[in-house]
Amino acid sequence: QVQLQESGPRLVKPSETLSLTCAVSGDSIDNGYYWGWIRQPPGKGLEWIGSLYHSRTTHSNPSLASRVTISADRSNRQLSLRLTSVTAADTAVYYCARGLTPIDYWGQGTLVTVSS
């Protein structure tokens, strides 16, 4: 069974970089699926951030693309997210997920708050 677990700092200061890691178990990052990140601001809907395929091909939300880096460590089965120059608007629950169309497995999510 595929399991995804997000980890990283829960509090980030404005203008700094948000960095999260997702540990993947029950599957391989190189098995032919996209792996990516989705976020959800408190009380709001889902927003796709971006996805990675075979550790090479990346698609990102155009509204975030200039600030987003998604990468994978195949040997450690980890997916990473970096979001630069954060503001309060980046406060959200961040989910790691498998798939693109559809997104078929989700991590439990981690709340990241941007505040000084």
Partner 1 sequence: SYVLTQPPSVSVAPGQTARLTCEGDTIERKSVHWCQQKPGQAPILVVYDDSGRPSGIPERFSGSNSGNTATLTISRVEAGDEADYYCQIWDNSVPSVVFGGGTKLTVL
Q: Which amino acid is at 88?
A: A
Number of residues that bind partner 1 (CB under 8 A): 20
- Candidates 59, 77, 78, 80; binder of partner 1 (CB under 8 A) is 59
Q: Which is nearer to partner 1, 57 or 116 (CB)?
A: 57
77 part of the interface to partner 1, by CB under 8 A: no
Binding-site string for partner 1 from residue 25 to residue 44, where x marks contact by CB under 8 A and - marks none: -------------x------
91 part of the interface to partner 1, by CB under 8 A: no
Is there a contact between 36 and 51 (Cβ–Cβ < 8 Å)?
Answer: yes
110 part of the interface to partner 1, by CB under 8 A: no
51 part of the interface to partner 1, by CB under 8 A: yes
| Contact footprint for partner 1 (CB under 8 A) | 38, 45-48, 51, 59, 61-62, 95, 100-109
